[in-house]
Structure 1
Amino acid sequence: MSAAPASAASAQSATRDPAATTRRGPTLPRLVASEWTKLVSLRSTLWTAAVTVAVAFTVTYLSANASSGDPGFDPARSLPDGVALSQLGTLVLGVLAGTADFRTGAFRSTFTAAPRRGRVLAARTIATAGVGAVVALLAVAATVLGVVPAARSRDMSVDLAGGSAPQVLLGSWLMLLGMALLGLGIGSLLRRTVPAMVAALALVFVLPVGISLGAEMAMSPTEMMAESPAGPASLDPVSTVTAFLPGDAAFRMTTTADDGGVDGAPDLGPWGGGLVFAAWIVLPLAGATLRLRTRDVT
């Protein structure tokens, strides 16, 4: 007679055991697979990826052909020209990935099935990184194809294994991938597509131009005509601030140490630019994680 109550008590205690409940919940690999499926199922993902690759090829093709007549033409130096504009595509891709659940209202079912919100964001980050890596690889390949016609017109070969080409290609790939993660962080933090899109575009593209124009407008004609003092120690505050913004820092990864930095700004180099860009990626993702854990998802 006591066996039935004992078994019922053990079953009830197992139900109340948080560890047992956690073990039965969605695992990180399953969440990653779910987020991957949701992301690649969006029409906006496919369209954004296609436009990103097309822009990378077109801009590189036009830039390489325009500079192919120069005596010192180097096909490898035209490779970053395509990713300078196609980074917009992966940035938008990340924003859409971060806001998709909140835009459609699917976040309710997502967080009901997986109450550990930080794990959901981690899975979404991994899935976005996977999709972004594929799109970035295709875009970088498109830049290589865009350089080939100009190189052949000069009877030159595109050497991808020699000189600065490996670093330029790797830096371009990391730049495009990083923009997807930056967009994801901003989208996950703001949760609304339009505000997140405006914030991302303003941070990467508009803010550097606005700072430079604002500084020029604030200068008097005398100051603008005056020559800046020569020497490596003379740093311009505007150029210094701009160098640490995500767009400029990310583009430094597509350059080599021989290219040097911007006049009046510290020479971050490819590694320094990559570290600054990584910090910009971590910042909104950390803010999104904190918001998920401390505030409601409405």
Structure 2
Amino acid sequence: MPFARTLQSELRKVVDTRAGLWMVIVMGLLAAIVLAAVVIWGEPGDATFDGLLGMATMPLAIVLPILGIMAATAEWSQRTGLVTFTLEPRRGRIVAAKAVASMLFALGVIAVAFVASALVNVTAGTGTWDLTGAAAGGLVLALMLYVLQGVAFGLVFLNTPIAIVASLVLPSIWGIATALISQLEEVGRWINLDRVMEPLFAGEMAGQDWAQLGTGVAAWVLLPLAIGTYRVLNREVK
């Protein structure tokens, strides 16, 4: 099967299930509510393009990785793996298609968030265009990394509820530990994904920031992705 067809199939699966469709609906509703709240109850200075976009994408940082988890665990949680791996026995291609499909879908959602924030800024906001190119690029890259982390955790656990809980709880526990335990503080500067993402979101990356981002991504994205891929390649399909 050509990779393009596998990718198309995985893209369709993102919203083809009831759970996936509802996740997209909830994501849209949350973004709309947040934008409305900023305009109605926020400070006048918050209703700029940068402020609106930042608020609109806050729920995306949580929901988009969950969609990545659901894409990675679909064959195992819905017991469709036998069909999928019969049509495409090269499991590595399926893993790659799931990762690419999740990121492409996320890019589409992020693009909608950009457009919605721009429209609200023009019609009900301050009309101020204060988002820098570095901040915009950093925002997109950070959300893509979170999506890939979701896919990675889904591949590691191959169980949707467990993967969702693990992706939310494990980084939080590590972040709290590095903040409270002085011996781990220096390590946390390099292997706390949320912490190393802060300058990326702000568009203020410097030399050491890129190195810290690399170690954080290696620990929380690439390592789980490698472990999860190994599991998928070697697990028996029932």
Q: TM-score range by the shorter chain?
A: 0.7 to 0.9
Letter in 2 for 1:294: N
CA distance in 1, matches of 2:29, 2:92: 35
What's the secondary structure of 1:37's corresponding residue? helix
**Higher alpha-carbon Rg:** 1
- Establish whether residue 89 from structure 1 lines up as the match of residue 63 from structure 2: yes
CA pair 274-209 structure 1, distance change in 2 beyond 3 A: closer
2:124, 2:177 → 1: CA distance? 36
- Please state how far the C-alpha of 1:63 moved relative to its aligned partner: 4.8
| 1:273 Cα deviation after fit | 5.9
Aligned match of 1:103 in 77, 84, 87? 77
**Runs of at least 4 residues off by over 6 Å:** none
Q: 1:256 to 1:172 in 2, by over 3 A?
A: closer
1:295 to 214, 235, 238: 235
Tell me the equivalent position of 2:145: 178
Partner residue in 1 for 2:185: 238
2:9 to 22, 30, 34: 34
Identify, as 1 or 2, the structure richer in helix: 2
Change (3 A) 1:144 1:243: farther
Amino acid corresponding to residue 108 of structure 1 in structure 2: L
The 1:107–1:124 alpha-carbon spacing in structure 2 relative to 1, beyond 3 Å, is same
1:158 maps onto 2:128 in alignment = yes
Partner of 1:14: none
CA–CA separation in structure 2 for the residues paired with 1:150 and 1:244 = 40
CA distance in 1, matches of 2:101, 2:138: 21
Q: Residue 257 of structure 1: SS of its match in structure 2?
A: coil
CA offsets, 1:107-146, max 9 Å, x none? 0111122221111111222222211211222233334445
Q: 2:194 — aligned with what?
A: 247
Question: Is 2:66 aligned against 1:127?
Answer: no
Report whether the alignment pairs 1:190 with 2:130. Answer: no
Q: 2: CA distance between counterparts of 1:201 and 1:134?
A: 24
Q: Provide Cα deviations, 1:242-272, integer angstroms capped at 9, x if missing partner.
A: 66322233343211329x9xxxxxx954x45
Query: Do the aligned residues in 2 keep the contact of 1:87 with 1:176 (CA within 8 Å)?
Result: yes
RMSD (Å), alpha carbons: 3.2
Q: TM-score, normalised by structure 1?
A: 0.66
Note if contact 1:54-1:142 (Cα within 8 Å) is conserved in structure 2.
no
| TM-score, scaled to structure 2 | 0.81
Q: Structure 1: which 5+ runs fail to align? A: 1-25, 220-235, 261-266
Aligned twin of 1:232: none
Question: 3-state DSSP class of the match of 2:42?
Answer: helix
The question of whether the paired residues in 2 share the 8 Å contact of 1:185 and 1:281 is answered with yes
- 1:134-153 aligned at under 5 Å gives the runs 134-148=108-122, 151-152=125-126
Match of 1:226 in 2: none
Match of 2:224 in 1: 284
Which residue of structure 2 lines up, in the alignment, with residue 207 of structure 1? 173
Matched residue SS, 1:136: helix
Please give the alpha-carbon distance, in whole angstroms, between the structure 2 residues aligned to 1:147 and 1:197. Answer: 33
Report the Cα distance in structure 1 between the residues aligned to 2:201 and 2:139, rounded to whole angstroms: 5
Q: CA deviation at 1:166?
A: 2.2
Contact 2:48 2:121 survives alignment (8 Å):
no
**Alpha-carbon distance in structure 2 between the residues aligned to 1:29 and 1:59:** 36
CA distance, structure 2, for counterparts of residue 249 and residue 183 of structure 1: 17
Q: Which runs of 5+ in 2 are unaligned?
A: none
Going from structure 1 to structure 2, the CA distance change for 1:288 and 1:103 (only over 3 Å counts) comes to same
More relative contact order in 1 or in 2 (CA 8 Å, sep 6+)? 2
